[in-house]
Structure 1
Amino acid sequence: MKSLGVAMGLAAQVRDWVRDREPELLAELGAWVAQPSVSRTGEGMDEAAAHGVELLRRSGLTPEVVRTGGWPALVGTAPGPPDAPHVLIYGHYDVQPAGPLHEWLSPPFEPDFRDGRVYGRGTGDNKGQHLAQLLGLRALREITGGLPCRVTVLLDGEEEIGSPHLAEVVRQVDGPDLVVWSDGPVHESGRASVVLGVRGIITFELRVRGANSVLHSGNWGGVAPNPAWRLVQVLAGMRDVRGNVLVDGFADDVVPLSPGERAALAVLPVDVPGVLGGLGLSGMEPPADLGFSERLAGPTFSINSLTCEDDGEHRTVVPNVAVAKCDVRLVGGQRADAVLTAIRAHLTRHAPDVELVPGGAMNPSRTLPETRWTGAVLRGAADGLGEEPLLLPALGGSLPIAAFTDELGVPCYGVPFANVDERNHAPNENLVLEWFRRGIVAAATVQRAIAEEGR
């Protein structure tokens, strides 16, 4: 009980620290959002790297710009007490392009504070969230005179383009005991959460070609092979009506959920009829015996789009090319290269005329609830956020966290500080300021809880 009292005392102190400095902290957030950092186009990236280095320095970290074959990573380090745990905090300073400007209610790189939120590209994804982590470190220094853990902060400059060089940066970092990251929204119920893993992803196209030009369907229908029919038949041979993926080797390496993961999934709150009704749906994908949350912890094979490359025209023709854009979401045990190899082998055996065009790939990351540091992260997050967080075994989406679990072999914990309706990647991206304030406090109390666990 003594350590919990100390942690609760720290939370109150950091809340006071945030309240007393709120105008300057919000100004710092606004200035960071106002700096464009679009990795896909390069807009503002050099200036953003310099800005990020200064943020690391102001938070008491020794900054370093790590050059890669693409945009640089920013690394800040700070020593802690002897034998204290080493915590790596991950975030990313690059953002998505603005998208359709006419859909923004305020310019995307002119942060607009209104109605308890700040609007602008990067507010939630990810500048506001990793800034909360940095400010939590700054608060610890000013309140206690130092940090309870040894800390490394790594800000990725390429997350929005798949983090192609993150693994090589991670290999240069002195190995931590665990990784903490803040990205994505809290649980869809609005509850705080601690996330233990993320699904991986493979994207690819399947292309079927027919004649050397589009043909009149009256003159050539029944004579010329139709690539669209061929494509849908091939797809139907890759997943059956019950939802089973028919690609040999697709799920052979999936590691079954642990008892702790199953227990965490079982208590997640979800109003299935309400969620489906809000989407205009009456039921979920097969198979029928899987729960809502359990589905987000398993592998999937999705068709994203089907087209005959007809520029949106619908003529009475036999098309000459048909394309399916697909993605596969991966879970613990699966490897992107192995699953892609299985898909390629399936096509070689059953549809050698179908062209496979690989896209991006990212491995999944998995940390078990039974891991040593889980309890400490949960306690620290509860102290700082003011509520018991839900434990999420895995996000449905994908983040490059496998760069840490694969390269370093350490557990990774997500503590999101963004609202459910943050609209990341969309116009009018925003961050609820109360989550930003609470995130600063939680960043500090999680560090303290980890230090206590490490004693």
Structure 2
Amino acid sequence: MTVEQVRAWVEEHDEDLVSELAAWIAQPSVSRTGLGMADAAEHGLALLRTAGLEARQVETGGLPALVGTAEGPPGAPHVLIYGHYDVQPAGPEEKWTTPAFEPSIRDGRMFGRGTGDNKGQHLAQLLGLRALKELTGGFPCRVTVLLDGEEEIGSPNLAKAVSQLDVPDLAIWSDGPVHDSGRACVVLGVRGILTFELRAYGANRPLHSGNWGGVAPNPAWALIQLLASMRSADGTVLIPGFADSVAPLTEGEWAALADLPLDIPGALAGIGTQHMEPPAELGFYERLTAPTLTINSLSCADSGDHRTVIPDVAIARCETRLVGGQTPAQVTEAIRKHVERHAPDIEFITGGSMSPSRTLPETPYTATILEATERGLSEKPLLVPALGGSLPIAVLTDELGVPCYGIPFANVDESNHAPDENLDLGWFRRGIVAAAAIQLALGERR
């Protein structure tokens, strides 16, 4: 069995494969509101069965997960493929060129909610499996496919679904865009996230700043002083225990970072600035593997009136991006203790969180994944130690204790979560071939 045979299969069935993608996009599946989720679950189960898998719905206490399984040859690796069948809400209809759940093709791209995030990408994985099944009568590896129904709302019940699965040897996911340069890539990890809010209170109502200035406490100043105690002007996070557990980068990770293409002036010009955030000595990609402390918004709940008052409340909404070695619980406790020490009257309110995930380049499967991805996509992929953003991949790497590899099949400008979300059909077709190529290469390892 060769990759060229898979490529020929994709070309032969191209019209049907694109039609299947369109039908999947046309089925709404908005986890935030529940729109179409029940019908989407049935549609997803049918796709799993058509790929040659035994399919079942896994109850989690929330929206169900969909699981498909198939046995492989004795001694072959057990590969878990993760994706999610829920999508973001459509958003303002007037911002879409064509309706969000009425897929249309323009200039070689399919437009519609979920094309890139994530239906098109996990469908490419499923179609790669179907190609292998039809061409060989079976699969080169033991396979489990897990389609999450709650990724767009933070995957609160994913761990419950994962706990009902057999432990695989490795996991694969296809989500997010390829590298910013447009190059194919293999992603080894993602940063985690912890959101929180700080609320400082003053008097029981806003007060005239002339009559009460210098007398009534100003919660805005109290909040600003707390925030200043949390990070220095040079960018150093000053919260004790915040980053004590961060794992240093390995030689393989440093080497992968050094190989990534980089145009700092161009990247900064694209966002309308000339300077990066301090500290100055950190490299561009090194920053995306490091923890952050970010203020997302500041407010005195004045509805933008900007009256000459002393506010009664000041609010900072913040986040931290977490990296390997950190956990949401550990960072939460560090921030809580810092607030209690510096401003005990300011309220600390935690929000959502997601743990970071890390797979090392030195992991034995890495070379196989890279080589197979290159054969399937017909280009050498970049090795990306970690995405800057967050995905629920830690449930796989931490709960299952297995290496996890991301192989994105979406174009850089996929506009996921935004109007006119789209997927380049060239990437979709190449993704099918790459998905099959990876299974073939892993099967040869036994």
- In structure 1, what is the Cα distance between the partners aligned to 2:237 and 2:428? 41
Q: How does 1:30-429 map to 2 (within 5 A)?
A: 30-429=22-421
- In structure 1, what is the Cα distance between the partners aligned to 2:392 and 2:148? 10
Structural RMSD (CA): 0.8
Show the counterpart of 1:3.
none
SS of match in other structure, 1:60: coil
Q: TM-score, normalised by structure 2?
A: 0.99
- In structure 1, what is the Cα distance between the partners aligned to 2:417 and 2:39? 21
Identity %: 69
Aligned with 2:436 (options 437, 444, 455):
444
- In structure 2, what is the Cα distance between the partners aligned to 1:194 and 1:452? 20
Cα deviation digits, residues 248-288 of structure 1 (max 9, x gap): 00001100000000000011001000110111111101111
- In structure 2, what is the Cα distance between the partners aligned to 1:222 and 1:435? 63
Cα displacement (A) at 1:114: 0.8
- In structure 2, what is the Cα distance between the partners aligned to 1:441 and 1:93? 21
Cα deviation digits, residues 387-430 of structure 1 (max 9, x gap): 00000000000000000111110000000000111111111111
- In structure 2, what is the Cα distance between the partners aligned to 1:221 and 1:19? 74
SS of match in other structure, 2:42: helix
- In structure 1, what is the Cα distance between the partners aligned to 2:146 and 2:304? 44
- In structure 1, what is the Cα distance between the partners aligned to 2:90 and 2:314? 31
- In structure 1, what is the Cα distance between the partners aligned to 2:301 and 2:218? 14
Name the aligned partner's letter for residue 74 of structure 1. Answer: L
Q: How many residues align?
A: 446
Q: Which moved more, 1:408-417 or 1:20-29?
A: 20-29
Cα displacement (A) at 1:11: 2.1
Q: How does 1:10-21 map to 2 (within 5 A)?
A: 10-21=2-13
Cα displacement (A) at 1:312: 2.3
Cα displacement (A) at 1:16: 1.2
Structure 1 regions of 5+ residues with no counterpart? 1-5
- In structure 1, what is the Cα distance between the partners aligned to 2:128 and 2:230? 48
SS of match in other structure, 1:449: helix
SS of match in other structure, 1:136: helix
- In structure 2, what is the Cα distance between the partners aligned to 1:427 and 1:316? 39
Cα deviation digits, residues 222-261 of structure 1 (max 9, x gap): 2211111111111010000111111100001100000000
Residues 1:431 and 2:412 aligned together: no
- In structure 1, what is the Cα distance between the partners aligned to 2:356 and 2:270? 29
Cα displacement (A) at 1:432: 0.5
- In structure 2, what is the Cα distance between the partners aligned to 1:105 and 1:219? 55
SS of match in other structure, 2:444: helix
Q: TM-score, normalised by structure 1?
A: 0.97
Cα displacement (A) at 1:367: 0.3
Cα deviation digits, residues 279-331 of structure 1 (max 9, x gap): 11111011111110010000000001111111222211111111111110000
Cα displacement (A) at 1:370: 0.3
- In structure 2, what is the Cα distance between the partners aligned to 1:45 and 1:313? 41
Residues 1:26 and 2:49 aligned together: no
SS of match in other structure, 1:397: coil
Cα displacement (A) at 1:168: 1.4
- In structure 1, what is the Cα distance between the partners aligned to 2:425 and 2:221? 52
